[in-house]
A and B are shown apart, each in its own frame.
Chain A
């Protein structure tokens, strides 16, 4: 009896002491303001508050590497933010613990500042019968090219096909010590996301997929063919040495320093590349194709917390972010494509050359995003990384690699 009373007292005290958001106050947890967007999001929030004097927005910025854990922990403790910056691969995990609010009813409203049909499609696809997030902006994966090395290796144009990429990577690696054709980041260091940075874009350009709906489908012929392509490129010396210890960050730095010919990564990296090494003879192209012009689409998404006490205000803010005018500003600030395609023209105006090139290259290609519906997406990257490392070491064949990843991923998802 005493124990029960103590528990009740503790719960009551906790409720009384926990800072609850007042009506009209919302929090936006994201990492966008910590990227190369100095001050932009503070101004955006100020602009929103000026237009909606009854709502205040607290901008909560976390480093990207900690946002996923923060969302889970904050939610568990009961201090979750109202509006959440999201990364598509986290979706399934967040749904499993009930963090996200379904957005279908909000999207169906007539007074929204945007039409749902104008939004980038990838994040909108229904999971468990609902839409859970909307795109703030999109970062298509492209291939960054060091044209200086391409020309030095005897080629006039960047590679457009797998065969051309193989030939050029080997030729660039043969130029001099310390120069490599392409970097492949297969480090086990968390988040171990090398396979989704480089392997998946190549797979999609080969017409392959790793999911069958919401079920892992890694051991299929297209995957094996793409793994074989990586292995052959590595055996031919086209790949930078030490793939098993390279991270995406190292790959980017090596490319900026002019030591690799190619880098497969989101187009947004173009601003880092051109600003940090203006001397580089640089261009970007679509990821070389082996049958399909498809690109992996990545982006910054937004959702609403299921526990939010101010969902209406939260949606008012999301609605503001997706209006063509605001969305164009957000895209330009991040050197990205807008989540609302109605904002494309506004983004094109005054955009730098690399952004315009991305828009031109990708206008007719197929966007692909599979991580959103994949079970244990983040865990599956580690599995892929470890098995691809074993393949590049010569411990297993591409077919064995595909089978091993499939088996371990299914086990992980149980």
Chain B
């Protein structure tokens, strides 16, 4: 009798578990669809002739694929310049913030010095200031430094946004690596820099990759400062290039969406390649070993 009751309970629990799982999958599917739909629509519009952009009822698949938007974008040297600029700025900011951020994080993680807690707090606090309020001061500083309308002006600006994150992120990651590693390496004759480069960085690779991806995304997607701190077509980046297609008298939908797709591809590919490290890197710093 007891067995039957237990069996009944087990069946009920199993059924409940299946319903729960089904609910979770349905919720995940809905959320995924909401997240992915704008991207699908962007691709769809980029492949539609402009007469179909606003057709009713809306259709995801066009009647015929129209590659005109891509052809216009890819054959226009302006857009190539925007892409190259975005790559230059993104890669430079990523490289610089990783080098400087990792060195700073190493200092915070492995050494105690006067004012270290205040300095760390200050680094975190800079992240809390809304960037829009910094636009005019940054504008003034960049002009003062003679870097207005140069890629160096953008690199320097983005570096100041990316560095605090890099420091916090790498500091969290390095803190998870036991100090025994450092001591063993030191006994074997490593200098402090040798400890960082030969011992800690290989272990911290997931953290480095996730920090790099975040930094690259920040520089690649940023619009407001790129618009304010540059004025020549030769210095514009992808987001500003896209905004140039929103005119006073209408939008060039096919070109705008084609360029948006082309502009999104590097980020998507990058993220797909290193997704494993990014997820691992983001969560690793949260737990101390």
Q: Which of B19-27, B186-194, B243-251 contacts the other chain?
A: B243-251
Which one of A29, A36, A60, A73 contacts B249 once the chains associate, using CB atoms below 8 Å?
A: A36
B233 contacts chain A at the CB level, 8 A cutoff: yes
**CB proximity to B under 8 Å, residues A34-66:** 34-36, 58-66
- Is there an interface contact between A65 and B246, defined as CB atoms closer than 8 Å? yes
Determine how close the nearest CB of chain A comes to the CB of B180; give it in whole angstroms.
49
Residues on A with beta carbons closer than 8 Å to the beta carbon of B240? 63
Q: Which residues of B contact A178 (CB under 8 A)?
A: 56
Interface size class of A (residues with CB under 8 A): 35 or more
Q: Is the C-beta of B55 less than 8 angstroms from some C-beta in chain A?
A: yes
Q: A14-B144, A257-B56 are in contact. Are A272 and B243 (CB under 8 A)?
A: no
Residues 56-111 (chain A) with a chain B CB within 8 angstroms: 58-66, 70, 73, 76-79
CA distance A249 to B253 in the complex (A): 12
CA distance A77 to B248 in the complex (A): 26
Nearest-neighbour CB distance to chain B for A348, whole angstroms, equals 21
Task: Say yes or no for B139: interface residue by CB 8 A criterion.
Answer: yes
Query: Which candidate, B106-114, B122-130, B224-232, B281-289, is the interface stretch facing chain A?
Result: B224-232
Which of A77, A249, A254 is B250 in contact with, Cβ under 8 Å?
A249
Q: Which of B56, B145, B246, B249 contacts A63 (CB 8 A)?
A: B246
A-contacting residues, B242-271, CB 8 Å: 243-252
Find the A residue at minimum CB distance from B231.
A60
Alpha-carbon separation in the docked complex, A272 to B251 (Å): 9
Cα of A58 to Cα of B232 in the assembled complex, Å: 8
Tell me the chain A residues, 223-268 only, with Cβ under 8 Å from chain B: 249, 252-254, 256-257, 259, 266, 268
Residues of A within 8 A of B277 (CB): none
A6 at the interface (CB under 8 A from B): no
Q: How many residues of chain B have a CB within 8 Å of chain A?
A: 30
| A62 close to B227 (CB less than 8 A) | yes
Chain A residue at minimal CB-CB distance from B72? A38
Whether A257 contacts B55 in the complex (CB less than 8 A), given A17-B145, A60-B232, A77-B139, comes out as yes
- In the bound complex, do residue A18 and residue B139 qualify as a contact, i.e. CB atoms below 8 Å apart? no
Q: Provided the pairs A35-B247, A62-B227, A77-B140 are in contact, do residues A17 and B146 lie with their beta carbons within 8 angstroms?
A: yes
Asked whether B30 is an interface residue with its Cβ less than 8 Å from the other chain, the reply is no
Tell whether A17 pairs with B232 under 8 Å between CB atoms, given A63-B244, A73-B136, A266-B249: no
Residues of B within 8 A of A272 (CB): 249-250
Shortest C-beta distance, A198 to chain B (Å), equals 15
Taking a contact as CB atoms under 8 Å apart, the answer to whether B248 and A253 are in contact is no
Please, which residue of chain B has its CB at the minimum distance from the CB of A16?
B146
A252 in contact with B250 (CB, 8 Å): yes
Bitwise, A1-18 to B at CB < 8 A (1) or not (0) is 000000000100110011
Residue contact A256 to B54, C-beta cutoff 8 Å: yes
A31 at the B interface (CB under 8 A):
yes
Residues of chain A within 8 A of B247, CB atoms compared: 31, 34-36, 63-64
Of B55, B144, B243, most buried by chain A (CB within 10 Å of CB) is B144
With A34-B244, A58-B232 as given contacts, are A277 and B51 in contact (CB-CB < 8 Å)? yes
CA distance A339 to B177 in the complex (A): 71
Q: Given A18-B146, A63-B244, A253-B53 in contact, is the A268-B231 Cβ separation under 8 Å?
A: no
What 1/0 flags go to B139-165 for Cβ under 8 Å of A? Answer: 110011110100000000000000000
> Does residue A276 face the partner (Cβ distance < 8 Å to B)?
yes
Contacts of A76 in B (CB 8 A): 136
A269 CA / B251 CA spacing, docked (Å): 11
User: Does A117 have its Cβ within 8 Å of any Cβ on chain B?
Assistant: no
A13, B144: Cβ atoms under 8 Å?
yes
How near does chain B come to A185, taking the closest CB pair, in angstroms?
13
Contact A19/B248 with A66-B243, A73-B139, A257-B55 known, Cβ cut-off 8 Å: no
B133 to chain A, nearest CB (A): 14
B213 → chain A, closest Cβ, in Å?
29
B250 touches A269 (CB 8 A): yes
- Complex: how many Å from CA A24 to CA B83? 32
Tell me which residues across on chain B come within 8 A of A279, comparing CB atoms: 51
Chain B nearest CB: distance from A358 CB in Å? 14
B85 CB within 8 Å of chain A: no
Task: Tell me the chain A residues, 261-302 only, with Cβ under 8 Å from chain B.
Answer: 266, 268-269, 272, 276-277, 279
The 9 closest A-B pairs by CB, nearest first: A64-B248, A257-B54, A17-B146, A276-B50, A35-B247, A60-B231, A253-B54, A63-B243, A34-B244
CB<8 Å pairs between A and B, sample of 20: A14-B144, A17-B143, A31-B247, A31-B248, A34-B245, A36-B247, A36-B250, A59-B233, A63-B227, A73-B228, A76-B136, A77-B136, A178-B56, A249-B251, A252-B250, A254-B54, A257-B55, A257-B56, A266-B249, A277-B50
The residues of B with any CB-CB pair to A shorter than 8 Å are 50-51, 53-56, 136, 139-140, 143-146, 148, 227-228, 231-233, 240, 243-252
Task: Name A residues whose Cβ lies closer than 8 Å to a Cβ of B.
Answer: 10, 13-14, 17-19, 27, 29, 31, 34-36, 58-66, 70, 73, 76-79, 178, 249, 252-254, 256-257, 259, 266, 268-269, 272, 276-277, 279
For the complex with contacts A34-B247, A63-B244, 7 further pairs of A-B residues with Cβ separation under 8 Å are A10-B144, A29-B231, A58-B232, A66-B243, A70-B228, A259-B56, A279-B51
